[in-house]
Amino acid sequence: MHHTAEPAPEFSRIVRADAVHRADVVETIEATEAERKALAERFELEAIDRLVATVRLRSVRGGQMVRVAGELEADVVQTCVVTLDPVPAHVTESFGALFAPESMIPKEEDEIEIDPNISEEDIPEPMTNGRVDIGELTAQHLSLALDPYPHAEGVEFAGYGDAGEDEDDGGVVEPEKPNPFAALERLKRPN
């Protein structure tokens, strides 16, 4: 029986959990040009000029799980939501995650009591075959760190609608419209 595997992530860097069990692992990973291009397409960016992360992995809970802590730095080019001009941005982000063997992850159908005091970093993610993909983890945290509404410097951004696409202009004031203050001045003048 041939089943299609999940497509490989654009930026994949595998660390084996058994390597982490012997000693902490610190990896500095950097995306290649091809990987950056593929990630830029996935995240709908104009470009990713640089993506580097330093990731520390250590064994926790008696060697059953792997705790990951990382710092990423990236130079990206987003698209201004108002003018569609390119907007360069420098992104830095710290992130963390906990990975556990799939056998230890509660199934969705099991009623699990989620402790409200547990942060997201403490809810373990499954390791596939004892492997942690720190590249994909870095890519996910890069996407979370991106500005959801990038706009070029000096551009007033007044609404979250698609500016200029619908008939009312989504709160973006077009410069050629008459100045509302001028209209007020006219109202104040005696007839």
Scanning 55-179, the segments in alpha helix (DSSP H) are 134-145
Judge whether 168 lies within some domain: no
How many structural domains are present in the chain? 1
Tokens 């409200």 locate to: 116
In this predicted model, what pLDDT tens digit does every residue of 10-64 receive, in sequence order?
999 999 999 998 899 999 999 999 999 999 999 999 999 999 999 999 999 888 8
Judge whether 48 lies within some domain: yes
**Could you tell me the end-to-end alpha-carbon distance of the chain, in angstroms, rounded to an integer?**
87
Judge whether 33 lies within some domain: yes
Domain region containing 106: 14-158
**pTM, two decimal places:** 0.74
Nearest-angstrom CA–CA distance, 60 and 67: 6
Asked if 39 and 116 count as a contact pair (C-beta separation under 8 A), the reply is no
Asked if 74 and 147 count as a contact pair (C-beta separation under 8 A), the reply is no
Residues, the chain = 191
Q: Would you call 182 helix, strand, or coil by DSSP?
A: helix
Which residue has better confidence, 76 or 117?
76
Judge whether 29 lies within some domain: yes
Judge whether 126 lies within some domain: yes
Judge whether 182 lies within some domain: no
Asked if 57 and 15 count as a contact pair (C-beta separation under 8 A), the reply is yes
In this predicted model, what pLDDT tens digit does every residue of 129-182 receive, in sequence order?
999 999 999 999 999 999 999 988 888 766 544 444 444 444 454 445 455 555
Judge whether 75 lies within some domain: yes
Judge whether 175 lies within some domain: no
Nearest-angstrom CA–CA distance, 105 and 33: 35
